[in-house]
Amino acid sequence: MTHFRTSSAAALLIGVLSICSAWAQGARSEPTSSTQHSTNVDPARTQLESDKKINSTAPVTVIAAAEPVLTIHGLCQDQSIQPATAANSCTTVVTREAFERLLDSMNITGKPLTPETRRNLAEVYAQYLVLERPATKAGLESTPRFSEIMRWWRLRTLAGLYRGNLQEQFKSPSPDEVHAYYVQHLQSYQRIKAARILIPRTPGDTDEAKRSDKKALEVANTARERAANGEDPDLVQKDAYSALGLSSPPITNLGANPRSNFPTEETDELFSLVSGQVSKVETEGASYVIYKIASKETLSEDSVKDEISRQIAQSKYDEAMRSINESAKPEFNEAYFGSPKTAPAVSPSASPHP
């Protein structure tokens, strides 16, 4: 029996990273910072340390680090041994520690993996291990194509590891950085609860459009006066629609909203009002609008510190990548590649082979 711990990196890397690419592609639907795991795990770490490891990829059932999770009967690690027969049998065993080390090296997003995902990988992994011997025997490992593919994967892997290293480096801003960011962007954490009275208007240059628009503005001014005098915005909205011969008035309660949810030209006025005050009649596209402020609040620093940490980390990462990318400018031969406007973009995660 052969206890398999590590595989020939050259023969296995293409398949391993192909699966890694698929995982990463699927995980990008949700913008989040990825966690990079190093592939250079010390093989001499003790079993006790491995058993204590709480890993997002660990199965629900507790399995000892040295216990097999994948056994391939008839596959020998020693390439000199002939294929297994009844008289000459051997097995390759992948322990939990070895398998999770493989998972960690590929799961660059750091997201928990389902048992189904782990099993699917194990099945593909077993296939690759079985194909390793005939592929090597066929001399594919020594071909120029293999060398070029491995060179591409080396570059891609190093780039991915470096990006992950930067994200890891910046992921935990200091409390002073978080506080400074909070103070600097305090306005973005302000919220107002408001009721909105919306009066449809009729923009246009025709006489009929002008008459309709004048009527809508009169109704809007009346609605504002009633709201300012303390009348219920829902009732005011309903009466305004009736005055214009319209039905199905919209709800007025907007809930709590930040500045970014209001038109830029209105935010200073709206956020300067206090509870109970009413805005002037605003023009928003095909409507006249009146806002009545119900309450105002500013989110506490503690409640938004995680969001701030992510924003600071992302900003540092973007700046570091911008500096690196601007340090070397590629020049492309358009006679060969074509114009940037017509040539299809090449994804940095694209594989150079089928």
Q: What is the pLDDT of residue 203?
A: 85
- Percentage of the chain modeled with pLDDT above 70: 75
Give the span between the Cα atoms of 80 and 66, in whole angstroms.
26
Q: What is the pLDDT of residue 148?
A: 97
Each residue's pLDDT tens digit, 46-68: 333 433 343 444 445 688 999 99
Q: What is the largest CA-CA distance in the chain?
A: 101
Q: What is the pLDDT of residue 18?
A: 45
Structure tokens at 86: 């009844």
Q: What residues does 291 pair with on adjacent strands? A: 196
The strand pair at 282-284 and 287-298 is best described as antiparallel
Each residue's pLDDT tens digit, 247-304: 999 999 999 999 999 999 999 999 999 999 999 999 999 999 999 999 999 999 999 9
- Under 8 Å CB-to-CB from 298, ≥6 apart: which residues? 186, 189, 190, 191
* Confidence bin at 342 (pLDDT 50/70/90): low
Rg (CA), the chain: 32
Mean pLDDT of the chain: 81
Q: pTM surpassing 0.75?
A: no
Give the span between the Cα atoms of 137 and 67, in whole angstroms.
31
Burial (0-12, 13-18, 19+ Cβ within 10 Å), 247: exposed
pLDDT at 352 over 50: no
Average pLDDT over residues 328-337: 92
Burial (0-12, 13-18, 19+ Cβ within 10 Å), 192: buried
